Structure 1
């Protein structure tokens, strides 16, 4: 149940306020009975009738105040549960190595909103409607057990309808979830690929593709919503026939036989409406909850996920040894490379060269512990960290070809929210060559979405500042300068390779001779014609 992720005190207060709100129904029904009996008594007791009317009005004002508090508590619970679900899912998604950004975005927006509307809110309504049903039923039974039994038997009909429609709604909801994820992905593709579409005059093709996905999503949403609406209509229709018309007819017969007072009959009808309507509503709310089952099953993984601590004390760095490393892909079982041997000493600068497609990025991911090799070991400080992300990744910082920039300040993009002193931050920025940018704009400069307010070189320097600020002993650079012009590439390499505090392992397929001369060791990795084999050629170069 989703409500367990709210504070217990909030749920208890909501339950109490729901009970008070349910009593409002009983209060009105009872006062209606008393007033009608006074009016039909023939005594002309006007003052007594007016007195009860005033008492009813005063009671309604008190219930109204309680209902204000009821709605406030309900919204607070929804907010609390939403925050718990969003926090858990964000932590879970960030920790996944095979993160599908588009799918994750769709889940965090559309799916969680469906859970809020059709699960959290529905479960809160179930509490209130259940109390209303129980209270009205007991009060009705106290006043006329015969009529109450008639109404109870009558509720079987909408119950049968609910059971028949529940499974259909669940299936429709699953289809909608799948179609909505596809639609979100296609819209993202359309916007990200707009420039290419304009360039090659295929805008209509790309838009048509997205419109097709939108049509599929809207059709699935229509089918799910329409099924829910049809189910509700069937429930209401069966309730009106079996729970209102037939019981009222029986009540009229009892009244004509003198076994039921007019005030009691009207009260019973009012109570019946207020314990039959909750039943119908409960069936509908259960259908709403059913419609979120696929989404809820997915979010359960995040709620049950236990996040490991990020910090693993690495101490010093005495060196890394990669021995006889090989990697075979999981799905195609194709061997990418084998017999890779590399030794990295503290502060050493190593260049790994191979053509595109060799598997250089895969090799770096093996070092980080994201992937596990088919054979071989990775040793750091004499300890085996092969395939162990928890232990391995804390030794590394990383510079990408296209670093990600948060739409935030320069300060945040360097620190990533870590608490560091101003001196530490400025020193890292200085070593990364960001002095002029900071002097001109300051650390609170907004870099824009995807770093649009920065140049390519500045983005790379921000990534380097992140790496240096982490204080990790090995910096991995993945084609870090391949997208830059030769001048900027040389400047970045001078920054990276001129720092004696860190070891650098860079992978590249194209680099100038001047830049090559900056490395202590160059390892050339290449493929042979046999697709299942690889060889390596090691060339040593010293400064």
Structure 2
């Protein structure tokens, strides 16, 4: 149940206010009974009737004030539960780091909105409707137990309709969840691939493709919503027939026989509508909750996920040794490389060279513990960390060929939200060669989406600043300068390799002689040969 993620104090307050709101129904029904009985008694005491009307109006004013507080507390619960679900899903999705983000985007937008509307809100309404039902039926039993039993028996009909329609709604919602995820991916593809579609004059094809996915999603949504509407209509029709017309006919007969007063009959009809309507609404809300089952299942995984505290600080680094590493793909069982061995000393600069497609990036992922080799082992400080992300990754920082930039400030992109002293930040900015940019633009400069406000060289330097700020002993560089011009590549290498306290392992397929000369060791992975400085 989603409401277990709300504060207990909020739920208690909501339940109390919902009970007060439910009493409004009983209060009005009771006052109607008294007023009608007075009016039909033959008495001409008009002032008594007026006093009753004034009392009813004052009571309604009090209930109105309480209902304002009820709605405020209700909206607060919805907001807080939504934030809990969003945080949990964000933690889970970021922790998983899946390259295919379509399901995550769909979950964080459409799915969570469906959960808010059809689960959280519905469950809160179910509490109110349940209390309304209990209040109305209790007072109804007190007033006329015979008529109450008639009305209760009649509620079996809408209950049967709900039992039949509920599985159908669940199935329709599963179809909608799948088509919605596909639509989200198509929209993402269309926007990200806009330049390519314009270049090759295929914009219409891409729009048609996305529109088809949208049509499938809308059809699935229509079918789900229509099924819910039909189910609700069937429930209401059954309620009107069996829970209103039949009991009212029986009540009329009892009144004709003198066993029921007119005020009591009208009150019973009013109460009946207010304990039949909650029942019907409860069935409808239950169907709404059922429609969110596929989305809630995904969210439940995120809520149960525990993010490990992996902020381990590496106090010292004695060296890394790789022994006879080989890797075979899981999909087609193809051997990527075999027999890779190397040693890295503290502060040493190592260049790993091999042609494109050899598997250099895969090798770096093995070092990080993201993948497991077929054979061989990786030792850090003499400890085997092969395939162990938790044990290995805190030794490494990473410079990508195409670093990711957050659409935020320069400061955030360097620190990634960490609290850093001004002195340490200034030092890192200087070491990464960002002094000029910071002096001209300031740390509060917005870098734009994907770093659109920065040059390629500036983006690489921000990535280097991130790596240096982490204070980790080994920096991995994955084709870090292959997309830059020769002079900029040389400048970046001077920045990367000048720090004596950081070991650097760079993989590349092409590099200039001047840049090669900056490394202590050059290993040709495809040839199993090693060059060292004399």
Q: Under TM normalisation by the shorter chain, which class is it? A: over 0.9
Q: CA deviation at 1:313?
A: 3.0
**In structure 1, what is the Cα distance between the partners aligned to 2:492 and 2:506?**
12
Equivalent position of 1:434 in the other structure: 434
Q: Which runs of 5+ in 1 are unaligned?
A: 527-535
Equivalent position of 1:73 in the other structure: 73
- Deviation readout 1:178-197 (Å, 9 max, x if unpaired): 11000000100000000000
Q: Please tell me whether the aligned partners of residues 179 and 220 of structure 1 are also in contact (alpha carbons under 8 angstroms).
A: yes
Matches within 5 A, 1:442-481: 442-481=442-481
Equivalent position of 2:33 in the other structure: 33
Q: Please tell me whether the aligned partners of residues 432 and 495 of structure 1 are also in contact (alpha carbons under 8 angstroms).
A: yes
2:484 is aligned with 1:493: no
Equivalent position of 2:528 in the other structure: 537
Greater alpha carbon shift after TM alignment, 475-484 vs 327-336? 327-336
Q: Secondary structure at the match of 2:269?
A: helix
- Deviation readout 1:117-157 (Å, 9 max, x if unpaired): 10000000000000000110111011111111111011001
Query: What is the TM-score of this pair, normalised by structure 2?
Result: 0.99
Q: Please tell me whether the aligned partners of residues 351 and 521 of structure 1 are also in contact (alpha carbons under 8 angstroms).
A: yes
Runs of 4+ in 1 over 2 A off after TM superposition: 97-100
2:41 is aligned with 1:50: no
**In structure 2, what is the Cα distance between the partners aligned to 1:384 and 1:161?**
62
Q: Secondary structure at the match of 2:30?
A: helix
Matches within 5 A, 1:218-257: 218-257=218-257
Task: Name the Cα RMSD after superposition.
Answer: 1.0
Equivalent position of 2:139 in the other structure: 139
Greater alpha carbon shift after TM alignment, 123-132 vs 480-489? 480-489
Matches within 5 A, 1:105-124: 105-124=105-124
**In structure 1, what is the Cα distance between the partners aligned to 2:349 and 2:132?**
74
Equivalent position of 1:531 in the other structure: none
**In structure 2, what is the Cα distance between the partners aligned to 1:131 and 1:489?**
71
**In structure 2, what is the Cα distance between the partners aligned to 1:35 and 1:100?**
67
Q: Secondary structure at the match of 2:327?
A: strand
Q: CA deviation at 1:99?
A: 4.5
**In structure 2, what is the Cα distance between the partners aligned to 1:523 and 1:101?**
36
Q: Secondary structure at the match of 1:519?
A: coil
- Deviation readout 1:42-88 (Å, 9 max, x if unpaired): 11110000000000000000000100110001011111111111111
**In structure 1, what is the Cα distance between the partners aligned to 2:222 and 2:524?**
58
Equivalent position of 1:288 in the other structure: 288
Q: Which runs of 5+ in 2 are unaligned?
A: none
2:152 is aligned with 1:161: no
Equivalent position of 2:395 in the other structure: 395
Q: CA deviation at 1:331?
A: 2.1
**In structure 2, what is the Cα distance between the partners aligned to 1:256 and 1:99?**
75
Query: What is the TM-score of this pair, normalised by structure 1?
Result: 0.97
Equivalent position of 1:363 in the other structure: 363
- Deviation readout 1:346-377 (Å, 9 max, x if unpaired): 11111111222211111111111111112111
Q: CA deviation at 1:310?
A: 2.0
Number of corresponding residues: 534
Equivalent position of 1:520 in the other structure: 520
Q: Please tell me whether the aligned partners of residues 35 and 52 of structure 1 are also in contact (alpha carbons under 8 angstroms).
A: yes
Matches within 5 A, 1:289-308: 289-308=289-308
**In structure 2, what is the Cα distance between the partners aligned to 1:179 and 1:453?**
36
Equivalent position of 1:327 in the other structure: 327
**In structure 1, what is the Cα distance between the partners aligned to 2:58 and 2:356?**
81
Q: Secondary structure at the match of 1:417?
A: coil
Q: Please tell me whether the aligned partners of residues 93 and 99 of structure 1 are also in contact (alpha carbons under 8 angstroms).
A: no
Greater alpha carbon shift after TM alignment, 510-519 vs 177-186? 510-519
**In structure 2, what is the Cα distance between the partners aligned to 1:357 and 1:45?**
99
Equivalent position of 2:510 in the other structure: 510
Q: CA deviation at 1:505?
A: 0.6
Q: CA deviation at 1:97?
A: 4.2
**In structure 2, what is the Cα distance between the partners aligned to 1:524 and 1:105?**
41
